[in-house]
Amino acid sequence: MTAPHHYTTVTAEGMDTATAYRLICGVVVPRPVAWITTIDHDGRVNAAPFSSYNYVAHSPPMVAVNIGTRLGELKDTARNIRETGWFCVNVATEDVMETLHRCGADYPPEVSEPEALGIALLPGVATPVPRIAASPIHLECKLDQAVALGRGLNTLYIGEVLAFHLSDAVYDGRHVDSVKLRPIARLGGPWYAALGETFHRPALQRSPGEPEPSTTQSGKA
């Protein structure tokens, strides 16, 4: 047993945006990073990282990303998703971390991050949105709904996954090998994290959709 904690209580009522952002990002860790590609109506490709991201449904598979406004204006990714209805999540790994991080700079809307940074792209299959070739996994998504949250500074974009693209380097035809994938996560402040030590515990419940285990009755024909 660990020693008792001494707590500092910070009341959220009336909290300013900067403090709330710092605290929520510091305690909800680690967060997977979605490297999202979108296109605008002119076909220009945008790529940006977002760490307020997770899966939210499995039947059909759906993911969601929270995108805040910047100085009251939509970010390029949010605007493109709203206008076209498509986006692609490229899974972020240790190998792509430096390039992904550079995509987080404040590029003007007329600048394509893949073009500016020399990021190789692959064509979309289920959507018109290109995929990032250096990422081992891509999730091509169709916008299902956009949900305004809180005071209106954040919107949750929920997308249905239309196609998974999985590299043979991390996928054996049934399971994704997380250790080989080497995903990265965001922590509070300017910090990323790697997978680190992993822990195995036996499953206590069946996964959704898994069949009942077969049973045999001994002594009966």
Residue 7 is assigned to a structural domain of this protein? no
Residue 26 is assigned to a structural domain of this protein? no
> Given a cut of 90, is residue 103 above it in pLDDT?
yes
Give the pLDDT confidence score for residue 216 in this predicted structure.
Answer: 47
- How much is the average pLDDT of 147-162? 96
Q: For position 168, which CATH number holds?
A: 2.30.110.10
Residue 77 is assigned to a structural domain of this protein? yes
Q: What is the pTM of this model?
A: 0.91
Contacts of 66 (CB under 8 A, 6+ apart): 50, 52, 53, 149, 154, 155, 156, 157
**How far separated are the first and last CA of the chain, in Å rounded?**
54
For residue 174, what are the domain limits?
31-193
In this predicted model, what pLDDT tens digit does every residue of 10-69 receive, in sequence order? 999 999 999 999 999 999 999 999 999 999 999 999 999 999 999 999 999 999 999 999
Residue 157 is assigned to a structural domain of this protein? yes
Closest CA to 164 of 65, 70, 59, 88: 88
Residue 204 is assigned to a structural domain of this protein? no
In this predicted model, what pLDDT tens digit does every residue of 57-89 receive, in sequence order? 999 999 999 999 988 899 999 999 999 999 999
Judge contact between 65 and 56, C-beta under 8 A: no
Residue 220 is assigned to a structural domain of this protein? no
Q: How far is CA 7 from the centre of its chain?
A: 31
Give the pLDDT confidence score for residue 210 in this predicted structure.
Answer: 82
Residue 181 is assigned to a structural domain of this protein? yes
Q: How many domains does the chain have?
A: 1
**C-alpha–C-alpha distance, residues 129 and 46, integer Å:** 10
Contacts of 105 (CB under 8 A, 6+ apart): none
**C-alpha–C-alpha distance, residues 48 and 100, integer Å:** 7
91 strand-pairing partners? 34
Residue 87 is assigned to a structural domain of this protein? yes
B/e letters for 74-95, b = 16+ CB within 10 Å, e = fewer, are bbbbbbbbeebebbbbbbbbee
> Given a cut of 70, is residue 220 above it in pLDDT?
no
